[in-house]
Amino acid sequence: MRKGLKHLKGVFGVILLLVSAFIYAMFQGGFVSWFLFYLVIPLSAYSFLLFFYSISKLEVERTIETRQVFSGGRFSATIHVKRNNRFPLMYTSFEEKVSKNLLQTTSKQITFWGWRKEFKWTYEIEHIPRGEHELEGVIMRVSDLFGWVWKEAFIPSKKTILVFPNLTEMVYIPIETRYDQGATASRIQTMKDTSMATGVRAYQPGDRVSWIHWKSFARTQTLKTKEFEDRQSQDLFILMDRSPSPLFEDIVDLTASIMQAIVRNHSLSAFLSIGETRLYIPTVQNEEQLHRVLYHLTKVQADLKKPIEQVIVNDSSLAQVTSLLYLTSKISYEWIESIQKTATNLRVCTCFLVKQKDLKLTQDEIAFHQYAASRGFNIQIITKERFAQAFLEVNRS
């Protein structure tokens, strides 16, 4: 109703202008006054015709120029608008209607359309944020010379675009692939690799039946048990912290880069993300599984309302973890205690602690890192500029 009143207000303004010009010409007389009156007539006639002209019957086609978009990058698209007549359109503006998280980055186009049936408009969005964004359609506005009579129409043309996290190329080096020869002592327990027998020993009560060396028993009639080499697994369990943090976008970028590096190295990993929703993928080994992780990381938000140490205590997926990589921007004593209670088979735990560049550690943080190291946890401070060297720094420490 308000829009209708505004439109009628513009029409009344044009009528008032036309009547005023006529009265002025009648009373004033002369060439100039009548010239002004006749000049106003075509402009007023156009305003009346525009008032009754329908701009809703338009066709819109959108072509995405950027094939794959990453966080903070540039997005480009071309809008192609068609109509079935040549009614002259003067001041015409186009605007892409987008989802709320893109309102600050959208752009407009103002043009003099004229008699053309088609119009193309290419726009760009700089520094587009990560996420799943909806392009809903085009808002078109047309006005007369005075801006009194104007028309507006929305032409729907839905399109969903995915803006992926920034992916950093990195060389993946398994964090812990050492056998017992040369391995350093750790409070985190090791596990025997039952696929690699290194010898036999006398049977002891409690040994598993599957460990008995039956060929030796057939020869000597004495029970012998296979001996296995202690090994630490190359398979990683990736745990991402979704607690609110100013560095959350960096954590997402680091997580996505690590998952890509692991898959390209033909290694195996598991992935867990906990927040308002929980995503657990027990095996990430191929491109399809990696795409599932990246799709999750595209939409994920820092929506973990409870402290993460309270959430992971009841998570069964951590119970059998042997090698853990934790990605976060903050870590606490409570988290270490929760992990040790939950992951009872844990042998190796590395924490990538994302920090701002040139930020110095406080004395309390240094003391905490020493405490974590004494409990078998390896904390690696990493900044965005050094994501590519993440695994190299772990192996040097």
Q: Residue 210's pLDDT is what?
A: 67
Q: Residue 328's pLDDT is what?
A: 94
CA angle, corner 395, sides to 393 and 397, nearest 5? 70
236-396: CATH class: alpha beta
Enumerate the H helices of 230-375 as residue ranges: 248-264, 287-299, 308-312, 333-342, 363-374
Amino acid at 51: F
Instruction: Give the DSSP H or E segment for 299.
Output: helix 287-299
- Rounded Cα–Cα distance for residues 97 and 103 (Å): 8
Q: Nearest 5°: phi and psi at 89?
A: -115, 130
Each domain of the chain, given as residue ranges in start order, spans 59-164, 193-230, 236-396
- Which residues 6+ apart lie within 8 Å of 117 measured at CB? 82, 83, 84, 85, 86
236-396 shares the fold of 59-164: no
Q: Residue 208's pLDDT is what?
A: 66
- Rounded Cα–Cα distance for residues 246 and 395 (Å): 28
- Give Cα 273 distance to the centre of its chain: 14
Q: Which residues of the chain have pLDDT under 50?
A: 177-195, 229-234
Q: Residue 48's pLDDT is what?
A: 85
Q: End-to-end alpha-carbon separation of the chain, Å?
A: 70
Q: Residue 233's pLDDT is what?
A: 41
For the record, the structure tokens of 312 come out as 């992971």
Domain 59-164 has CATH 1.10.150.20: no
- Rounded Cα–Cα distance for residues 167 and 244 (Å): 21
Using one digit for the tens of pLDDT, what is the confidence trace for 162-200?
999 999 999 888 876 443 433 333 333 334 444 455 567
- Give Cα 251 distance to the centre of its chain: 11
DSSP-derived pairing of the beta strands 377-382 and 348-354: parallel
At how many degrees (to 10) do helices 30-52 and 2-28 cross? 160
Q: What global pTM score does this model have?
A: 0.74
